[in-house]
Amino acid sequence: MSTVVYYAAMTLDGYIAEADDTIEWLTGYEGEAPGGEVVPAEGGYEDFIERVGALVSGSVTYEWILEHMRRTGGEWPYAGKRCWILSSRDLPAPEGKGVDVRIIDGSIVERFDEMLASAGGRDLWIVGGGNVASQFADARLLDQVSVTIVPVVLGAGKPLFDRRLPGDPMRLTGVFPRSNGMVELRYALSR
């Protein structure tokens, strides 16, 4: 059965991007092994992406990926997985083998069943940003939040969520310290 997961990296002070939508704080992070008695847990992004069947992203995140591909000469990172891009604008779609990008406008509630079906029983990843994740939470379509805390402080930026979430508080379901000093927290939401 598919799980709808908002999986993101976040600074220690709660931001997923700088105010100008850049993420050099994350892409340039080199990490440091944890000290004390912390025992790093195996896994991380590679394990997560294996469980993903389809993705949903906002236009800012999508345009960042396209620009990153252009600058680095990289390929579409989600080949073989349908990517739903929420936007009221016409946006270019990347070319390449296995690229399946759908740019849609309108309510996520109206397209949710189609999005979930495209995941093929695997997880539906809410990539970002905070507004997209907030829309899923508002509609009570979000099952899990998996946030990896990066020990960086920005002081300002784009928050993990755009607004207060409805319903009961999230329930902690897992804590996974990583060998680079990051910590993944997993929370369940009630629908």
Quick check: 138 pLDDT over 90?
yes
Q: What distance lies between CA 80 and its chain's CA centroid?
A: 17
Residue 126: predicted pLDDT: 98
- Cis check: omega of the bond before 129, within 30 degrees of 0: yes
Residue 29: predicted pLDDT: 96
Q: Which CATH topology does 4-188 take?
A: Dihydrofolate Reductase, subunit A (3.40.430)
- DSSP letter at 74 equals P
Residue 3: predicted pLDDT: 97
List pLDDT tens digits, range 68-123.
999 999 999 999 999 999 999 999 999 889 999 999 998 999 999 999 999 999 99
Residue 143: predicted pLDDT: 97
Distance between CA atoms of 153 and 11, rounded to whole angstroms?
A: 6
Residue 12: predicted pLDDT: 97
Distance between CA atoms of 123 and 51, rounded to whole angstroms?
A: 6
Quick check: 191 pLDDT over 80?
no
